[in-house]
Chain A
Amino acid sequence: MPQMTMVQAITDALRVSLREDPRVVVLGEDVGKNGGVFRVTEGLQAEFGADRVADTPLAENGIIGGAIGMAMYGMRPVAEIQFVDFIYPAFDQIVSELAKLRWRSANQYSCPVVVRAPYGGGIRGGLYHSQSPEAYFCHTPGLQVVIPSTPADAKGLLLSAMTGEDPVIFLEPKRLYRSIKEDVPEGRYTTPIGKARTARAGEQLTVLAYGAMVPVSVEAADMAAERGWSVEVLDLRTLLPLDTEAVLESVRRTGRAVIVHEAPRTCGYGAELSATIAEHALTALQAPVLRVTGWDTPFPYTLEHTYLPDAKRVFAAIEHVMNF
């Protein structure tokens, strides 16, 4: 099995789809000759031509609105937004159009569009190349929100997204783009949307995380192990729809939960998780559910390391919960 980085795994998923399905098109800024600013579409235009791997003018509403039109007409577009921080010019197209077309047309039309975008901090990108806006999209019925944390998952989840019937916001943790290499199966395989993964098994506390916060949480769990605490890390993989069953199963078993995300705290995805646990697993809890998140501030440039949750910060929450 070949070893791949997340970037290579995503390229591979796109290549497999472009080869097998003539309806697939990739569009976005700099995705052609340049292969995308993160090189995710490297070599694809050379292989499939400029009609199927298309550079666009600089307008995100054009990219996503255009993808919606293509999808209605029967194609399978994958739109790249260069950094998710630049998705807002297309926010209207996403929340008013993409998410609602099936419902408002009483199922006459649908738009199976995949919107891919690198998200998150850790690359010294400053305020507008580091944000984590997943909560905005999770608040929008009609969308699916997927965030992989490993190369193999990135490929399998993207292939699921590209063959599904509904739109997917596919957020790629750019900090993990090249930091991990692992075995990735060749050819087509799918990882189901809506299913969480146990990143590390444990018995006394569940850390719920996704994207770049998964390895951070695993590191914190390892720190906890040194203190004799057995901590489980659940990689959610899909935020919308949430794998509620897996979350509740784990939390009921361990009786404790810590939630980690890099997005700001207030009304972040952690609030949804915490509410779900309170609604369905309150009696199993032995301690309050804690959140470790980015601060309720914009994302800083120089001080990003103090903004982003790290293992130390996650461990502080684990410690508090374990000692409660």
Chain B
Amino acid sequence: MIDETLRQVLDDEGRVTGTAPEIPDADLRALHRHMLKMRTLDQRMLSLQRQGRIGFYGLATGQEAAITGSAYPLRATDWIFPALRETGVSLWRGTTVQELVCQLIGNAGDVLIGRQMPMHFSDRKVNSVAWSSVIGTQLVHAMGAAWAAKIQKKDDVMVGYIGDGGTSSSDFHAALNFAAVKQAPVVFFCQNNQWAISVPLSEQTVSSSIAIKAAAYGMRGVRVDGNDLLAVIAVMREAVERARSGGGPTFVEALTFRMGGHSSSDDPTRYRDPELVKTWEKRDPVARFGAYLRGKGLLTDADVETWTAEIGEEISQAVTAAEAMPAPALETIFTDVYAKMPAQLETQMKYALALGAGTKFDGAFPL
């Protein structure tokens, strides 16, 4: 039930060593372009953050294959429950760069109207329920939604994302146990990037792998090279199909590496050896898949050049448009606390508006 051997299709140089999943050529190219888009976005958004134009950013650099590969086998009706680093899944499913940039800025054009911190984007049109910020919580929700799909005899599959650090949370335990007991159609996708801020995997768990934890719940657990796009797609496809056909949950551990800091607020040189990062540069997921595509005659330097220019332009336009938008209106703090605003809250809102406008609230002090 547990396979701790690391599933691989491509070696570090992009040579096929395993069985490649069947994927149409056009999709192979689109997948590569998507990873380039994620990489470029990371660079551009981090630089905006450094200039103070956005408040916070969480990089996915080095994890593009795990993220993109986990998204590819899903249907539009499947739901995702991401954590910090899975924005690329939403982007693959139809979230636009502009929507993303608006969320990072938190302006009036942001779907979340500036309520949440950057990188906490929920997008219902692509069935993405973003995390709160509280590590682990989303995993139980993925289980619950999957359980509901089973009760309703729908064949949608839920994917709950978690980091290696998150596997220590008690919600991780509850999610896996319930999912296995209820045979819920859910895939738990763990991006094991080997760090939880400054805490290395060895301080998080001394299990021989994270995948093996599934055994304790009676659940299928697999381990895949997370920097190998084709292997991630192969493993995820099996897991999703199994869940969809009533075969129950799967736990996927994608072994990867966090190339940057935990977030724009973090300085990783305080706690980890830069040499270690260099060894992972050689296993870069984008270069690796690119080499594979070139070998098949599906990618040229000209493609990369064109795509890079197109992506750069898309981002520039999105940033320009987003930066021209105003902040959300003051009322947006008060709406949506409940379906219908209680009277007390309405009074608070009116008072806040009067204060904001520099006018006096009529009559007695309202609060």
Contact = CB atoms under 8 A, between A and B. Distances in A.
Partners in one complex: yes
Given A58-B166, A295-B352, A290 B114 contact: no
Given A127-B115, A265-B367, A86 B199 contact: no
B43 interface: no
Given A37-B197, A57-B203, A58-B169, A295 B116 contact: no
Contact of A291 (B107, B349, B367): B367
Q: Give chain B's interface residue range (CB within 8 Å of chain A).
A: 35 or more
Interface in A75-94: 85-86, 88-89
Interface of B is mostly: loop
Interface stretch (A160-168, A213-221, A230-238, A310-318): A310-318
A129 interface: yes
Contacts of B169: 58-59, 89
Contacts of A128: 117, 132-134
A296 B348 CA distance: 8
B132 A127 contact: yes
Nearest to A127: B116
A34 B198 contact: yes
Interface residues of A, number: 44
B204 A58 contact: yes
Contacts, number: 129
A198 B91 CA distance: 54
B168 A59 contact: yes
Given A55-B198, A59-B169, A295 B55 contact: no
Contacts of A35: 270
Interface stretch (B13-21, B179-187, B298-306, B331-339): B331-339
B301 to A, nearest CB: 41
Given A29-B199, A301-B114, A306 B330 contact: yes
A45 to B, nearest CB: 10
B134 A37 contact: no
Interface in A264-321: 265-266, 288, 290-292, 295-298, 300-303, 306-307, 312-313, 316-317, 320
B215 interface: no
A89 B337 CA distance: 23
Contacts of A127: 115-117, 132-133
B245 interface: no
Contacts of B168: 57-59, 62
B199 A290 contact: no
A126 interface: yes
12 contacts: A32-B199, A34-B197, A57-B168, A58-B199, A59-B170, A126-B118, A266-B344, A291-B367, A295-B334, A300-B332, A306-B330, A320-B365
Closest 8 CB pairs of A and B: A126-B117, A302-B114, A128-B133, A34-B198, A57-B168, A302-B106, A58-B165, A33-B271
